Amino acid sequence: MKYKKIVGSMLIVSSVLLFVGCSSGTAKKTDDSKKKDGKIEQVAKFGIPQEIASIDPAKATDKVSFGVMNQIYEGFYRMDEKNIPQPAGAKELAEVSEDGLTYTLKLREESKWSNGDPVVAKDYVYAWQRVVKPETASEYAYLLENVKNGKAIMAGEKEPTELGIEAVNEHEVKITLDHAIPYFDSLLAFPSFFPLNEKSVEEFGKDAFNTSEKVIYNGPFTLAEFDGPGSDIEWKYLKNKDYWDEKEVKIGEVQATVIKEASTALNLYEDGQLDDVIVTGELAKQYKDDPNFVGEKDGRVVYIDTNKKSKKVPFDNLNLRKALYYSIDNKAIVDTVLGDGSEAVNGIVPKELALNPETKKDFVDESGKYKTYDEKKAKDYLEKAKKELNTKEITFDILTDDNDSTKKLAEYLQGSFKDKLGIKTTVTPVTKPIRLERTDKGDFDMVVTAWGADYTDVSSFLDLFVTGNSYNRGEYSSKSYDKLIDEARTKNATDAKARWKNYLDAEKILLEDDAAVIPVYQVVEGHLRNPDLKGYIAHSAGASYEYKYLEMKK
């Protein structure tokens, strides 16, 4: 164990001992600056709820990893504070053909990698081809399915070099699509579409993204003191002096510490050792009216999935799934378990993600109120399931992340299933990287999970549950559902009205007809933030936060 880990652990333990019971709501003022090369440099300190699972744009799958990559890499575009894509690696928005199938982008000639190499068109070509290579096994490769030949390459039917992206010259990229993608501009700001420095990646091979020292960066920050995915609890972001827009980056250093217990995070915040922490449950309720409390609504929906291919638990039985579906009281969960302003949901798509192209009504308002709480219905469906399964007892395990909010939700579910349905369960909390690994392998019964919008379109959620999608970890399969999603992607890609109806009909099948997953709540993340810290941007779609414009104003 490295010295920094020992110090970090002692700091956390000491803070708990010294500050338990502290509830003033006012953080101590500390000097968030230090000297570097004789100059005063601003420093910001964040409490992070989970370890980094990956810093590989082709392999990352979770919120924390995407957030990290948004600081250290940069693609054609970056999202602004209103979730609108703006030119970043590209010097202007793409020139798009009339049929929506061809995008031409010109790169900033001043953009560099942190090793001094220029960022050029072939860096994008290399990175995109790497994502779709079957051997990469990228779970986000499906986002490139509509890039010309993307689907065939992923199926091993064509070579990666046939992907519809080409370097016209050093600073111009041409992208060709098989079908128009209405939200393609948003994808060009998403980490899976970021460029990579081929020389660096190929030099280190499978170890290319294991530590911060082996990675070459082109974002506003470089990563430092990162010792490996899934285990490191402390790392830093250092201002990238080679970044093309370096003058806009005011903060010199951002320090990140993984803290999973909200009470520990609170103590460190009140002692001035952290500038931003996440609070949940009782602490969120207690601090909700504090002037430094910030409730950030994001495009994440927490939901429950069941392993429909399990050999231990018969989750392929529709009546069993419906019994569990109707037994969960979403409102009680957000009111009594969370208390941070998160909102109970009736569907899998979050509010404020997409509007009807004609009526401008929110998708959530036009879709049905599918997830309701009805204890009588739940018991009736359970009795039907027991008869069909010829069993008197059903037991299973609930897999969850080991942070405060999801652990408490899993424990609530455990009590609820026992009290309302007589079902006995166990709860297994694990680190996020382990939870992702287990669900990837199908090694779970039930899992508490979440999905955040990767881009501002309902397909970001509803495409997940197509048969064979890498994120369809419960292995739901419906021919009628698949047909609707395929029509929305292809035949109706440029028919906004028909495409909208495809997705409305698909959500009905997923939830009302098949109870395939159980939506619970849309996340509002409760933060306590140093009032001197300005310029933090939270995104409801794509990478969820932005440090580029941070500034410590005293």
Q: What is the DSSP string of 94-150?
A: PEE-TTS-EEEEEB-TT-B-TTSPBP-HHHHHHHHHHHH-GGG--TTGGGGTTBTTH
pLDDT digits (tens, 9 = 90+) for 231-240: 889 999 999 9
pLDDT digits (tens, 9 = 90+) for 313-322: 999 999 999 9
Q: What is the reported pTM?
A: 0.81
pLDDT digits (tens, 9 = 90+) for 109-160: 999 999 999 999 999 999 999 999 999 999 999 999 999 999 999 999 999 9
Q: Supply the pLDDT for residue 16.
A: 36
Q: Supply the pLDDT for residue 32.
A: 63
Q: Supply the pLDDT for residue 34.
A: 65
pLDDT of 491 over the 80 cut: yes
> Mean pLDDT in the chain?
91
pLDDT digits (tens, 9 = 90+) for 444-469: 999 999 998 888 899 999 999 999 99
Tell me the C-alpha distance between 91 and 133, whole Å.
29
Q: Residues for the chain: how many in total?
A: 554
pLDDT of 523 over the 80 cut: yes
DSSP 3-state of 463: helix
Q: Supply the pLDDT for residue 299.
A: 86
Q: Supply the pLDDT for residue 109.
A: 97
Average pLDDT on 14-40 reads 48
Cα dihedral across residues 338, 71, 61, 148: positive or negative:
positive
Identify whether the C-beta of residue 61 lies closer than 8 Å to the C-beta of residue 131.
no
pLDDT digits (tens, 9 = 90+) for 149-201: 999 999 999 999 999 999 999 999 999 999 999 999 999 999 999 999 999 99
pLDDT of 38 over the 60 cut: no
Q: Supply the pLDDT for residue 18.
A: 33
Residue written as token pair 């079908």: 179
Q: Please tell me what DSSP assigns to residue 93.
A: P
Q: What percent of the chain has pLDDT over 90?
A: 79
